[in-house]
């Protein structure tokens, strides 16, 4: 016989591995189990004829389990014949069980069992036993894992059959559709088969009745937790290959055999059902109704949690783990699953951690992570939410195992905890790049308390200064009694060095660091789990012409002048209005008209500051009324701001509280979210489709901001960025570091601190005696009036004896020393008292050092100019391609700025000429065109009868009639001015420029 390369051959391969048989000719009521617990791989082959389609249960397997584990209760069912499908008591029990599965979901029924009169309680599954519990082990061994081929599931069309059905104790857990690339069918065909041929109204496919549905071929796996026809949302369940989609080569079998050899083994499946799979309730913001969602872990989520737990079991507390998981990859669930499994983790028969602390710097995720942990814990009492001083300490005393806090509150909360030697902690940090600096680390370490040192090794109690220094230095160190689990999509150099795994030194002796686990942006995009925000990136070039409105021609600092001029033109009322119109028109005509996200698409506007955001809010509000648009905008910024002579806030402008913004944007009529810094990181909204950027972005900030668009949604197939400030080169440079795994090129060299200290000492701003005095006074708790005289003497030396360049150099190096020491003191294994002393002095001295006088030589330039013309030109949409390689980022920079730059002065006329040449390229021959518009085009448009009548109606109606009249007039120009007509037809910016100018002339 030749190899069976058909779909049936793949079916046989899987079933043979799982059951030891081909599973083809299994007779009804064959309920024998493997002779040893779980046999070889633990499965028995089920019979398709045993499947009860009305109740979606394998009844013989179910009854065999109940007889062997709960015989007394089973006999109380009083069935005259358990094999008789018409037995009334049998039907009552099956109806009760099937109804509970339909109502609660199979996962909950397996975990909690059911109640049924008159028998009482039935357990439907026995979970992992605790070590040494013989009774629990015996019951656990009675679980019946079965897999059935060609499962005829349909009540109406009996020939419709699934390739495989997987059951535990007769309850359905998973279904499978298999395809084989050798017969020219792939996983995509299996997905389509589920969507097209598997009716979600069939009992087996009802929500929650199965935990998961797998589409499988020999190369890839896809999964779905809720079948709903064409709307079924399948997600990849692959290992990933070369930091991208798919699966690696398997020298021992098929690429996808990890599914049945690793994931779905009885042990692996039990672990998922106990610790990951769940039905969660989410409140629908628009209706207030609760919506149920079934969760099954992705492969990378299973991988990171299981690998981290295994490493902790092997090594105990005290290690650091950096997890680089792409934005939108499900970090919230990964963190929740890890946290709740860390609390019960044991080594040498004792629990490894006393408490698990989850720290997040994202206010929205603060409550989201807490809610997720509670849902997966099943016991909410073990979770505490630390919001104010005293909470954390009280929660630990109360025995709460998981404590959630924001990073902003964390250092203050930690101060309340008494130092308790011997306690161990797991600290799970969300978005680690911004939540673990030296000061936070010090507060954390001091509050949680490392185990007490041996008394003989400690400092002399009488030497209070040395004792205080030792305490400060010890507090800066990463805790040895805590494990750190740091999650981020965009690790900075500090994050990699602090939490990453050090690799063996290379030939040059450099030690690189890499993440413990990665799920890259490349893989997430290729798998379709997140969207590629760079696939339709469109930059917009601005063109403007400034004129001098004074007869004088004063001199200004050219560099500062150009910055002010750029800010002036981009924030000019006319420019804001024009850009707002472009955004609104684009959203209506390109996003909503195309029915993006099933007509539910939202847009985000990124602005450069609070004042600009408020400007945009008013411009949007006015133009949406002009357009008679059904949509409205929301503005988001922190605190109160003075605008138009009055104090305004989010609430006063939006008309509802700040806390409602995230919910309101999901509901009509709100479609535009205008932001000043808020919502640019950590905001998870799948309905966001389009982003309008009017703010310079670079590095991590660019990646985080644009990544707000990448969240997947069943009806979301693309996203779009329209960028008024940045170009494709800058965005490419920002994203490249985080496309694949990010590595630290080398560790920060501690010798840089010796070099910086030597340079600072050499400036002689302070003396060794002054350092000693300040440190003694500060650590002794002296009053300010004892410290300031010494510091003021240092300031006097700085001002009187250093020239401007030397002042800039000293202050810059002082800041770099403090920043670098704050970081290095937490990661290097040793302490240096001299560094600690100098950092104390410089932390106190640096804020008192005056900055060199920096006269604003561009002051007054805005009063001397006016904006004559402004328009924008949209470039072609492009796909930004990133290099397919790991990125290496350099260590923490330890260089300081050297000197103060000299201003370059120039005449206002020359500054404007250079500025207009740089930003006004499209204004060549403007005078001729403008004259033609004024003298020829505008009068003809004004004479149009329809336009004249429309002026009596709304501004939007008048503008629409104007644009129609202008189109007719421009067609007449075809014969005598082809150049102008061609520009009008092909250049969207020029068309808007002409339209605005003619409308202003004809409708004063």
The pLDDT of residue 453: 36
Q: Which two tokens stand for residue 276?
A: 């990951």
619 domain residue, yes or no: yes
User: Which residues are bridge partners to 501 per DSSP?
Assistant: 514
| Same domain membership, residue 115 and residue 57 | yes
Mean pLDDT across 718-733: 90
| Same domain membership, residue 885 and residue 833 | no
Of 808, 826, 848, the last residue of a domain is 848
Kindly report the average pLDDT of the chain as a whole number.
83
Residues 235 and 212: beta-carbon distance below 8 Å: no
257 domain residue, yes or no: yes
Q: Which two tokens stand for residue 370?
A: 């807490």
**Residue 438 pLDDT exceeds 50:** no
Confidence band for 923, pLDDT divided at 50, 70 and 90: very low
Long-range contacts, stretch 38-41, CB < 8 angstroms, 24+ apart: 38/141, 38/145, 38/266, 38/267, 41/17, 41/265, 41/266
Q: What is the pLDDT of residues 973-986, one digit of tens each?
A: 765 566 666 677 77
β-pairing verdict for 171-178 and 212-216: parallel
More confident site: 775 or 32: 775
What 8-state DSSP symbol labels residue 37?
Answer: T
| Same domain membership, residue 158 and residue 66 | yes
**Residue 80 pLDDT exceeds 60:** yes
**What is the CB neighbour count within 10 angstroms for residue 506?**
11
Residues 887 and 740: beta-carbon distance below 8 Å: yes
User: Which residues are bridge partners to 222 per DSSP?
Assistant: 215, 236
CA–CA distance from 331 to each of 233, 605, 838 (Å)? 19, 25, 40
Name the helix (H) or strand (E) containing 385: strand 383-385
The pLDDT of residue 456: 36
CA–CA distance from 314 to each of 307, 345, 352 (Å)? 11, 11, 11
Q: What is the pLDDT of residues 341-356, one digit of tens each?
A: 998 888 888 889 888 8
**What is the CB neighbour count within 10 angstroms for residue 781?**
7
What CATH number did the domain enclosing 555 receive?
Answer: 3.40.50.300
Which residue do the tokens 């081929």 mark? 149
CA–CA distance from 383 to each of 84, 376, 753 (Å)? 48, 11, 42
The pLDDT of residue 545: 72
Name the helix (H) or strand (E) containing 7: helix 7-19
| Same domain membership, residue 881 and residue 822 | no
DSSP codes joined into one string, 882-941? PPSS-EEE----------PPPP-EEEHHHHHHHHHHHH-GGGTTHHHHHHHIIIIIHHHH
292 domain residue, yes or no: no
Residues listed for the chain: 1004
* Residue 150 burial class via C-beta count within 10 angstroms: exposed 0-12, middle 13-18, buried 19 and up: middle
**Residue 459 pLDDT exceeds 70:** no
Cis geometry, peptide bond prior to residue 385 (ω within 30 degrees of 0): no
Per DSSP, the three-state class of 836 is helix
The pLDDT of residue 485: 93
Q: Quick one: which of 412, 426, 410 has its CA closest to 360?
A: 410
**Residue 418 pLDDT exceeds 50:** no
Mean pLDDT across 540-558: 75
| Same domain membership, residue 757 and residue 737 | no
Name the helix (H) or strand (E) containing 443: helix 438-448
Per DSSP, the three-state class of 56 is coil
| Same domain membership, residue 621 and residue 480 | no
The pLDDT of residue 789: 93
- Cα dihedral 383, 389, 390, 393, rounded to 10, equals 60
Q: Which two tokens stand for residue 366?
A: 């603060």
Close Cβ partners of 765 (under 8 Å, ≥ 6 residues apart):
794, 797, 798, 802, 810, 845
Close Cβ partners of 171 (under 8 Å, ≥ 6 residues apart):
57, 58, 62, 101, 106, 109, 110, 124, 125
DSSP codes joined into one string, 589-653? IIIITTTGGGGT-EEEEEESSHHHHHHHHHHHHHHHHHTT-S-EEEEE-SS-EEETTEEE-HHHH
Per DSSP, the three-state class of 751 is helix
**What is the CB neighbour count within 10 angstroms for residue 796?**
11
**What is the CB neighbour count within 10 angstroms for residue 196?**
12
Compute CA 897 distance to the chain's CA centroid, rounded to the nearest angstrom.
Answer: 34
Of 848, 878, 899, the last residue of a domain is 848
Residues 370 and 322: beta-carbon distance below 8 Å: no
What 8-state DSSP symbol labels residue 277?
Answer: -
Mean pLDDT across 511-515: 90
| Same domain membership, residue 212 and residue 108 | yes
**Residue 823 pLDDT exceeds 90:** no
| Same domain membership, residue 151 and residue 256 | yes
The pLDDT of residue 435: 45
Q: What is the pLDDT of residues 669-697, one digit of tens each?
A: 999 999 998 888 778 899 999 999 999 99
Buried b (16+ CB within 10 A) or exposed e, 445-473: bbbbbbeeeeeeeeeeeeeebeebbbebb
**Secondary structure of 467-502 in HEC code, one letter for each residue:** HHHHHHHHHHCCCCCEEEEEEECCCCHHHHHHHCEE
What 8-state DSSP symbol labels residue 454?
Answer: P
Confidence band for 404, pLDDT divided at 50, 70 and 90: confident
**Residue 3 pLDDT exceeds 60:** yes
Residues 678 and 637: beta-carbon distance below 8 Å: yes
**Residue 415 pLDDT exceeds 50:** no
The pLDDT of residue 291: 85
Confidence band for 854, pLDDT divided at 50, 70 and 90: low
More confident site: 763 or 182: 763
Confidence band for 445, pLDDT divided at 50, 70 and 90: low
Q: Give the separation between CA 311 and CA 306, rounded to whole angstroms.
A: 9
Instruction: Report residue 351: phi and psi, to 5°.
Output: -65, 140
Q: Give the separation between CA 693 and CA 560, rounded to whole angstroms.
A: 24
β-pairing verdict for 221-224 and 212-216: antiparallel
β-pairing verdict for 501-502 and 171-178: unpaired
287 domain residue, yes or no: no
919 domain residue, yes or no: no
Residues 326 and 740: beta-carbon distance below 8 Å: no
Q: Quick one: which of 445, 317, 448 has its CA closest to 825?
A: 445
What 8-state DSSP symbol labels residue 881?
Answer: P
Cis geometry, peptide bond prior to residue 118 (ω within 30 degrees of 0): yes
Q: Give the separation between CA 126 and CA 345, rounded to whole angstroms.
A: 20
**Residue 713 pLDDT exceeds 50:** yes
How many domains does the chain contain in total?
5
* Residue 160 burial class via C-beta count within 10 angstroms: exposed 0-12, middle 13-18, buried 19 and up: middle
Confidence band for 857, pLDDT divided at 50, 70 and 90: low
Q: Give the separation between CA 239 and CA 258, rounded to whole angstroms.
A: 9
Mean pLDDT across 869-874: 65
Q: Give the separation between CA 348 and CA 342, rounded to whole angstroms.
A: 15
707 domain residue, yes or no: yes
DSSP codes joined into one string, 814-836? HHHHHHHHHHHHHHSSS--HHHH
| Same domain membership, residue 351 and residue 456 | yes
More confident site: 854 or 235: 235
Residues 649 and 639: beta-carbon distance below 8 Å: yes
**Residue 928 pLDDT exceeds 70:** no
Which residue do the tokens 């981290």 mark? 308
β-pairing verdict for 161-168 and 171-178: antiparallel
More confident site: 445 or 224: 224
Give the torsion sign (CA, 507, 513, 516, 518). negative
**Residue 102 pLDDT exceeds 90:** yes
Which residue do the tokens 């995009």 mark? 525
- The C-alpha angle 648, 653, 657, rounded to 5 degrees, equals 100
856 domain residue, yes or no: no
Q: Which two tokens stand for residue 196?
A: 């097209």
Residues 221 and 236: beta-carbon distance below 8 Å: yes
Which residue do the tokens 């997966």 mark? 376
Q: What is the CA radius of gyration of the chain?
A: 34
Residues 83 and 63: beta-carbon distance below 8 Å: no
984 domain residue, yes or no: yes
| Same domain membership, residue 366 and residue 324 | yes
Compute CA 917 distance to the chain's CA centroid, rounded to the nearest angstrom.
Answer: 41
Instruction: Report residue 993: phi and psi, to 5°.
Output: -60, -50
| Same domain membership, residue 867 and residue 814 | no
Confidence band for 721, pLDDT divided at 50, 70 and 90: very high
| Same domain membership, residue 793 and residue 696 | no
**What is the CB neighbour count within 10 angstroms for residue 83?**
12
**Residue 28 pLDDT exceeds 60:** yes
Per DSSP, the three-state class of 539 is strand
Mean pLDDT across 225-242: 93
The pLDDT of residue 343: 85
The pLDDT of residue 871: 63
Give the range of the structural domain holding residue 546, as residue numbers without chain letter. Answer: 537-744+861-907
């Amino acid at each position: 016989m030749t190899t069976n390369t058909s779909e049936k051959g793949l079916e046989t391969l899987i079933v043979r591995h799982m059951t030891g048989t081909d599973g083809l000719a299994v007779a009804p009521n064959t309920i024998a189990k493997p002779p040893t617990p779980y046999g070889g791989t633990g499965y028995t082959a089920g019979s398709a004829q045993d499947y009860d389609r009305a109740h979606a249960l394998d009844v013989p397997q179910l009854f065999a389990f109940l007889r062997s584990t709960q015989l007394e209760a089973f006999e109380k069912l009083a069935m005259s014949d358990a094999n008789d499908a018409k037995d009334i008591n049998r039907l009552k029990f099956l109806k009760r069980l099937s109804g509970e599965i339909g109502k609660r979901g199979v996962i909950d029924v397996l975990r909690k069992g059911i109640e049924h009169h008159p028998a009482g309680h039935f357990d439907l599954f026995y979970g992992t036993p605790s070590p040494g519990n013989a009774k629990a082990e015996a019951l656990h061994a009675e679980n019946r894992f079965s897999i059935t081929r060609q499962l005829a599931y349909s009540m109406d069309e009996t020939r419709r059959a699934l390739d495989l059905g997987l059951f535990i104790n007769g309850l359905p857990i998973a279904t499978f559709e298999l395809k084989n690339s050798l017969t020219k069918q792939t996983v995509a065909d299996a997905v389509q088969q589920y969507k097209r041929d598997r009716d979600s109204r069939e009992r087996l496919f009802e929500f929650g009745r199965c935990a998961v549905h797998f589409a499988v071929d020999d190369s890839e796996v896809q999964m779905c937790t809720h079948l709903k026809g064409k709307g079924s949302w399948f997600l990849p369940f692959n290992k990933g290959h070369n930091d991208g989609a798919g699966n690696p080569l398997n020298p021992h079998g098929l690429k996808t055999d990890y599914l049945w050899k690793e994931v779905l083994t009885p042990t692996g499946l039990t672990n998922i059902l106990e610790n990951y799979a769940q039905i969660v309730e989410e409140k629908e913001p628009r209706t207030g109704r609760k919506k149920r969602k079934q969760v099954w872990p992705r492969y990378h989520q299973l991988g990171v949690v299981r690998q981290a737990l295994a490493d902790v079991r092997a090594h105990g507390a005290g290690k650091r783990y950096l997890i680089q998981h792409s934005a939108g990859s499900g970090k919230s669930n990964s963190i929740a699953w890890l946290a709740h499994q860390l609390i019960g983790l044991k080594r040498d028969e004792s629990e490894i951690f006393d408490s698990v602390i989850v720290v997040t710097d994202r206010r929205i995720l603060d409550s989201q992570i807490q809610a997720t942990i509670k849902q997966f814990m099943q016991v909410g009492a073990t979770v505490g939410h630390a919001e104010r001083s005293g909470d954390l300490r009280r929660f630990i005393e109360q025995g709460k195992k998981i404590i959630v806090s924001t990073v902003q509150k964390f250092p203050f909360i930690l101060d309340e905890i008494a130092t308790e030697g011997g306690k161990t902690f797991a600290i799970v940090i969300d978005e680690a790049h911004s939540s673990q600096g030296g000061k936070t680390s010090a507060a954390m370490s001091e509050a949680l308390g490392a185990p007490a040192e041996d008394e003989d090794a400690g400092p002399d109690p009488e030497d209070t200064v040395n004792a205080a220094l030792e305490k400060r230095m010890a507090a800066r160190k990463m805790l040895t009694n805590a494990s750190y689990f740091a999650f981020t999509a965009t690790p900075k150099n500090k994050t990699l060095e602090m939490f990453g795994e050090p690799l063996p030194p290379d030939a040059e002796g450099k030690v690189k660091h890499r993440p413990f686990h990665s799920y890259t942006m490349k893989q997430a995009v290729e798998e379709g789990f997140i969207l590629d925000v760079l696939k339709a990136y469109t930059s917009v070039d601005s063109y403007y012409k400034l004129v001098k409105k004074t007869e004088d021609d004063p001199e200004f600092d050219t560099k500062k002048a150009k910055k002010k001029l750029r800010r002036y033109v981009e924030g000019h009322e006319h420019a804001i209005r024009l850009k707002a119109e472009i955004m609104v028109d684009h959203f209506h005509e390109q996003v909503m008209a195309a029915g993006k996200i099933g007509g539910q698409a939202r847009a985000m506007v990124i602005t450069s500051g609070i004042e600009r955001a408020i400007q945009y809010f008013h411009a949007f509000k006015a133009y949406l009324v002009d357009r008679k648009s059904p949509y409205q905008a929301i503005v988001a910024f922190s605190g109160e701001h003075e605008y138009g002579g009055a104090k305004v806030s989010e609430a006063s402008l939006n008309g509802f509280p700040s806390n409602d913004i995230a919910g309101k944007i999901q509901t009509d009529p709100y479609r535009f979210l205008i932001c000043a810094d808020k919502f640019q990181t950590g905001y998870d909204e799948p309905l966001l489709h389009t982003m309008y950027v009017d703010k310079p972005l670079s590095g991590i900030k660019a990646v985080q901001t644009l990544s707000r668009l990448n969240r997947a949604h069943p009806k979301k197939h693309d996203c779009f960025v329209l960028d008024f400030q940045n170009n494709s080169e800058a965005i490419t440079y920002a994203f490249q570091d985080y496309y694949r795994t990010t590595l630290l090129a080398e560790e920060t060299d501690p010798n840089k601190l010796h070099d910086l200290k030597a340079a600072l000492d050499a400036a002689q701003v302070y003396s060794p005696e002054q350092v000693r005095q300040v440190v003694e006074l500060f650590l002794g708790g002296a009053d300010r009036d004892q410290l300031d005289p010494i510091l003021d003497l240092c300031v006097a030396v700085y001002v009187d004896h250093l020239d401007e360049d030397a002042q800039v150099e000293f202050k810059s190096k002082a800041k770099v020393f403090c920043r670098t020491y704050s970081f290095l003191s937490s990661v290097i294994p040793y302490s240096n008292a001299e560094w600690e002393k100098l950092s104390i002095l410089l932390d106190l001295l640096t804020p008192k050092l005056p900055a060199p006088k920096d006269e604003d030589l561009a002051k007054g330039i805005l009063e001397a100019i006016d904006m004559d013309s402004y328009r924008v030109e949209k470039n072609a949409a492009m796909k930004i391609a990133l290099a397919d390689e790991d990125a290496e980022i350099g260590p923490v920079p330890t260089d300081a700025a050297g000197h103060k730059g000299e201003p370059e002065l120039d005449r206002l006329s020359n500054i404007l000429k250079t500025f207009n040449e740089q930003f006004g390229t499209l204004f060549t021959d403007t005078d001729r065109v403008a004259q033609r518009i004024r003298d020829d085009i505008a009068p003809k448009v004004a004479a149009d009868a329809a336009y004249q009548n429309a002026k009596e109606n709304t501004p939007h109606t008048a503008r629409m009639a104007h644009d129609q009249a202008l189109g007719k007039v421009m067609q007449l120009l075809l014969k005598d001015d082809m150049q102008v007509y061609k520009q009008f037809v092909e250049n969207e910016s020029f068309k808007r420029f002409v339209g605005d100018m003619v409308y202003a002339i004809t409708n004063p």
